[in-house]
């Protein structure tokens, strides 16, 4: 089982000194990765389904991970997730390729289609076709990262006769991890992803998602050379050894618990307790 830590860019970790301290502790303790969240704006006042109060500080994922690249040496740096249809994929491809370069090839690109209508409205981003935009944006970024002469013609973006250098260090590109439990998200992961990420999952929801991914992979005719999807989950509650084993039995390969604590000291203590219980 690989272990990640979720929340390295918000709350207490919106303070760069705290984020660096927590990331270095996680690396020393044997964690494989740290994961960011993303909301460009949050509804004020908070109303469902908004996940956090509007005053929650949240650093931009690419900025936070680029900073942490200079504070660590082996820790993988994951976006968990970037809300892709809110972004220009050409700009995002440049930003994330830059993170991969400055980190020496440690980026994990987690993405999702988003769900907060108010956030989309504030950004002037289309909400109704966000799934189609997400699918196309993945292919735009893959083209920029892998093609000798990048070109793309789609519904939302078209280009040719351009280049975007440098390319990511990881070849053919950083791992693409698709988040979400909807049927569309599972199909997207099966058809376009290297991995899948589920947030705040219990065992039953994870079981359904894993079964859905298998069915979607079969329906999509996922090529064998691409290998199986790597399954990552942020569990919904506290973990114990039996629960970790049961997640593993379902096919989960990476657990990414939320860092619990309202201060740097509390987060470091959480990291150390988790490592002692499950990693050491």
Question: Residue ranges of the domains in the chain?
Answer: 2-279
pLDDT of residue 28: 98
**What is the pTM for the complete model shown?**
0.97
Considering the segment(s) 2-279 as one domain, its CATH architecture is: Alpha-Beta Barrel (3.20)
In whole numbers, what is the pLDDT of the chain averaged over residues? 97
pLDDT of residue 82: 98
Mean pLDDT for 268-274 is 98
The pLDDT tens digits for 62-71 are 999 999 999 9
CA 66/CA 115 separation, integer angstroms: 26
Whether 280 has a pLDDT exceeding 80, the answer reads no
Whether 223 has a pLDDT exceeding 90, the answer reads no
End-to-end CA distance of the chain, in Å?
Answer: 12
- Give the pair of three-digit tokens for residue 51: 């996940």
Mean pLDDT for 189-212 is 98
The pLDDT tens digits for 123-146 are 999 999 999 999 999 999 999 999
- CA 85 to chain centroid, in Å, comes to 14
CA distances from 75 to 79, 203, 213, 257 (A): 13, 27, 27, 16
């Amino acid at each position: 089982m690989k272990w990640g830590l979720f929340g390295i860019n918000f709350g207490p970790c919106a303070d760069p000194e705290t984020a660096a301290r927590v990331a270095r502790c996680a690396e020393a303790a044997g964690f494989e990765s740290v994961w960011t969240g993303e909301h460009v704006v949050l509804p004020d006042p908070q109303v469902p389904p908004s996940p956090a109060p509007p005053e929650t500080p949240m650093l931009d994922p690419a900025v936070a991970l680029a900073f942490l690249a200079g504070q660590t040496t082996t820790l993988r740096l994951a976006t968990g997730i970037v809300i892709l249809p809110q972004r220009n994929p050409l700009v995002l491809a440049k930003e994330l390729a830059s993170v991969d370069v400055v980190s020496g090839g440690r980026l994990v690109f987690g993405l999702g289609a988003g769900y907060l209508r108010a956030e989309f409205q504030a950004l002037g981003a289309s909400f109704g076709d966000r799934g189609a935009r997400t699918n196309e944006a993945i292919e735009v970024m893959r083209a920029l990262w892998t093609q000798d002469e990048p070109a793309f013609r789609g519904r939302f973006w078209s280009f040719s006769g351009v280049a975007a250098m440098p390319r990511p260090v990881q070849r053919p590109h950083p791992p693409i991890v698709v988040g979400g439990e909807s049927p569309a998200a599972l199909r997207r992961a099966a058809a376009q992803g290297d991995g899948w990420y589920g947030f705040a999952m219990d065992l039953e929801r994870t079981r359904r998602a894993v079964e859905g991914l298998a069915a979607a992979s079969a329906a999509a005719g996922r090529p064998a050379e691409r290998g199986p999807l790597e399954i990552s989950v942020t569990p919904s509650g506290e973990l114990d050894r039996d629960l970790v084993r049961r997640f593993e039995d379902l096919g989960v390969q990476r657990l990414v618990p939320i860092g619990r604590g309202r201060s740097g000291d509390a987060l470091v203590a959480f990291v150390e307790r988790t490592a002692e219980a499950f990693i050491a």
